[in-house]
Amino acid sequence: MKAGRFMQAQMTKGLLGIAAMALPVLAFAQAAAKDIEPDEPVRWQLNMTQGVTKTAQLAYDAHMFALWVCVVIGVLVFGAMAVAMFRFRKSKGAVAAQFSHNTTAEIIWTIVPIVILVVMAWPATAKLIAQYDTRDSAMTVKVTGYQWMWKYEYLGEGVDITSRLDRASDAMRQTHQVPTVAEIPHYLRDVDHPLVLPVDTKIRFVVTADDVIHAWWVPALGWKQDAIPGIVNEAWTDISKPGIYRGQCAELCGKDHGFMPIVVKAVSKAEFAQWLAAEKAKNAPAPAALPVATPVEAAPAPAEPQVATPAQAAPATQEPVPAGG
Ligand SMILES: [Cu+2]
């Protein structure tokens, strides 16, 4: 019967749930010790991390709610089984009942799981809808996946970043050796240029890819979004804690799929404004430098338009995309 299978599945989940509950104290104690990378999972952590965004919190809440429903079902079902086996055992003279149908029992074991599923699906659906509501965002970042790196464009700001595996990890992986944590603290999980974002800001992401399907995934943010060539997907985030958050490409995208990590550096709004201004300054053409170089040829320079539009600034900052490897 359907209901029977459902109960079996719930029982299994219930057991796992009890196991997951066993070590939360340890996990929380270890998590408290980290403040630079607030949401990093720790060794032997069993439950999922809580994340640092509203959507991550929604996912965590849905997960905990479902977990506790499973725990209750597990306790009830295993309790009933234990009682049945102990109290009505053959050695005590119990005789198995003989019947082929029991309409009341069949109605109960169909209705009860339906009610449980609806009770779980209702809030989960509301949370999903909230996760996809990208309205009223303060800024937009366009994420483009490439084989094998990420490009981040701060739309309307004329600032973009190409983010690749850090050089230390890249050099080490070519040697086929495994570094110690002391040698490379974040082996294969670090990048040259992290995505810098402000905290307490609703940030909209538009996610796409240039070659094959990638997926942009930072667990602490609470979502994962496919990056598909020719399609623009949307997502949003609102980071509550400054810190470093690590993720990776989550869609098998070629031989270096495992070597295009993601690093988000969340900073205060003031720090972000400072960083953005510095990036803009870096990207702007340097008109002041021209006259100094050769005084004879300096004359025509002021005739050039001196205002840096994003269109002009962008090509200068884009790093060339290598053909592969
Ligand atoms: Cu990828």
Does pLDDT of 3 surpass 60?
no
Indicate the helix (H) or strand (E) that contains 127.
helix 103-131
Residue 232 is encoded by which pair of tokens?
A: 């623009």
Does pLDDT of 322 surpass 90?
no
Q: Check whether residue 155 and residue 273 sit in a common domain.
A: yes
Does pLDDT of 76 surpass 60?
yes
**Residue 60 lies inside a defined structural domain of this protein:** yes
Does pLDDT of 311 surpass 90?
no
Does pLDDT of 318 surpass 60?
no
Q: Check whether residue 43 and residue 60 sit in a common domain.
A: yes
**Residue 145 lies inside a defined structural domain of this protein:** yes
Q: How many whole angstroms from 164 Cα to the centroid of ligand 1? A: 11
Confidence of residue 303 (pLDDT cuts 50, 70, 90): very low
Region of poorest pLDDT, from 4-8, 73-77, 189-193: 4-8
Q: How many whole angstroms from 147 Cα to the centroid of ligand 1? A: 6
Q: How many whole angstroms from 2 Cα to the centroid of ligand 1? A: 39
Average pLDDT over residues 133-156: 96
Average pLDDT over residues 206-218: 97
**Residue 322 lies inside a defined structural domain of this protein:** no
Q: How many whole angstroms from 81 Cα to the centroid of ligand 1? A: 48
Q: Check whether residue 225 and residue 274 sit in a common domain.
A: yes
Q: How many whole angstroms from 288 Cα to the centroid of ligand 1? A: 41
Q: Check whether residue 165 and residue 34 sit in a common domain.
A: no
Does pLDDT of 29 surpass 80?
no
Does pLDDT of 245 surpass 80?
yes
Does pLDDT of 243 surpass 60?
yes
Q: How many whole angstroms from 226 Cα to the centroid of ligand 1? A: 10
- Give the whole-number percent of the chain exceeding pLDDT 70: 77
Kindly report the CATH number assigned to the domain that includes residue 205: 2.60.40.420
Cα–Cα distance measured from residue 260 to residue 258, given in angstroms and rounded to the nearest whole number:
6
Residue 226 in contact with residue 260, Cβ under 8 Å? no
By CB atoms closer than 10 A (0-12, 13-18, 19+), residue 75 is: middle
Does pLDDT of 8 surpass 60?
no
Q: Check whether residue 155 and residue 61 sit in a common domain.
A: no
**Residue 79 lies inside a defined structural domain of this protein:** yes
Q: How many whole angstroms from 297 Cα to the centroid of ligand 1? A: 47
Confidence of residue 308 (pLDDT cuts 50, 70, 90): very low
Q: Check whether residue 14 and residue 144 sit in a common domain.
A: no
Q: Check whether residue 143 and residue 280 sit in a common domain.
A: yes
At residue 220, what is the residue type?
Answer: A
Q: Check whether residue 108 and residue 158 sit in a common domain.
A: no
Residue 244 in contact with residue 36, Cβ under 8 Å? yes
The CA–CA distances, whole Å, from 52 to 59, 112, 216, 237, 245 equal 11, 35, 17, 9, 9
Q: How many whole angstroms from 95 Cα to the centroid of ligand 1? A: 62
Q: How many whole angstroms from 248 Cα to the centroid of ligand 1? A: 8
Q: Check whether residue 67 and residue 151 sit in a common domain.
A: no
Does pLDDT of 83 surpass 90?
yes
Cα–Cα distance measured from residue 303 to residue 217, given in angstroms and rounded to the nearest whole number:
47
Q: How many whole angstroms from 250 Cα to the centroid of ligand 1? A: 7
**Residue 210 lies inside a defined structural domain of this protein:** yes
Give the pLDDT score at 218. Answer: 95
The residue segments making up the domain with residue 80 are 2-91+102-131
Q: Check whether residue 143 and residue 17 sit in a common domain.
A: no
**Residue 218 lies inside a defined structural domain of this protein:** yes
What is the CA angle 249-277-313, rounded to 5? 75
Cα–Cα distance measured from residue 52 to residue 192, given in angstroms and rounded to the nearest whole number:
23
Confidence of residue 291 (pLDDT cuts 50, 70, 90): low
Q: How many whole angstroms from 319 Cα to the centroid of ligand 1? A: 18
**Residue 324 lies inside a defined structural domain of this protein:** no
Q: How many whole angstroms from 311 Cα to the centroid of ligand 1? A: 27
Q: Check whether residue 115 and residue 203 sit in a common domain.
A: no
Average pLDDT over residues 136-148: 96
Cα–Cα distance measured from residue 263 to residue 261, given in angstroms and rounded to the nearest whole number:
7
List the shell of residues around ion ligand 1, using CB closer than 5 Å.
214, 249, 253
Q: Which of 193, 192, 206 is nearest to 156 (CA)?
A: 206
Please provide the average confidence, as pLDDT, over all residues in the chain. 82
Show Cβ contacts of residue 63 under 8 Å, excluding neighbours closer than 6 positions. Answer: 48
Average pLDDT over residues 218-242: 95
Give the pLDDT score at 59. Answer: 92
As for how many domains the chain has, the answer is: 2
Q: How many whole angstroms from 188 Cα to the centroid of ligand 1? A: 14
Give the pLDDT score at 182. Answer: 87
**Residue 20 lies inside a defined structural domain of this protein:** yes
Average pLDDT over residues 245-259: 95
Q: How many whole angstroms from 169 Cα to the centroid of ligand 1? A: 17
Give the pLDDT score at 298. Answer: 45
Q: Check whether residue 235 and residue 160 sit in a common domain.
A: yes
